[in-house]
């Protein structure tokens, strides 16, 4: 892929960099399993840490009762659900994976 091509994650990172976006309250109090459609309003108060492919992203929750957890958002199939209790756990699992 050439340097002039945009990565799919660029739009996610651009949203995360909007003024005040990371400090906004995380809007969910419980997971949303199943298809959810466009994720834009669900990602307030989160930081994208990985693109998993096919529109799926892992996001670090920055505030509220789920602060520090990693949730995975898959708007088409898997909803927005927790996948790890902490960034450290998620990251060390990722390092150990093949």
pLDDT tens per residue across span 70-82: 999 998 888 999 9
Per-residue pLDDT of 48-76, as tens digits, reads 999 888 889 999 999 999 999 999 999 88
pLDDT at 29: 92
The predicted structure's pLDDT at residue 8: 57
Q: Cα–Cα distance between 24 and 3 in angstroms, integer?
A: 33
Q: Average of pLDDT values for 3-24?
A: 75
Q: From residue 5, give the alpha-carbon distance in Å to each of 1, 2, 9, 10.
A: 7, 6, 12, 10
* Residue-by-residue DSSP string for 31-46: -B-S-----GGGGTTE
With bands split at pLDDT 50, 70 and 90, how would you rate the model's confidence at 13? confident
Mean pLDDT of the chain, nearest integer:
87
DSSP 26: P
Within 8 A by CB and 6+ apart from 73, the residues are: 36, 39, 42, 43, 56, 57, 59, 79, 80
Tell me how far apart the alpha carbons of residues 18 and 71 are, in angstroms, rounded to a whole number. Answer: 20
pTM: 0.83
């Amino acid at each position: 892929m050439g340097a002039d091509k945009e990565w799919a994650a660029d739009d996610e990172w651009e949203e995360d960099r909007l003024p005040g976006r990371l400090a906004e309250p995380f809007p969910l109090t419980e997971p949303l399993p199943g298809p959810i459609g466009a994720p834009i309003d669900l990602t307030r108060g989160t930081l994208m840490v990985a693109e998993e492919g096919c529109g799926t992203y892992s996001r670090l929750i920055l505030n509220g009762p789920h602060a520090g957890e990693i949730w995975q958002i898959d708007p088409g199939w898997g909803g927005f659900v927790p996948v790890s209790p902490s960034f450290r756990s998620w990251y060390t699992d990722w390092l150990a994976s093949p």
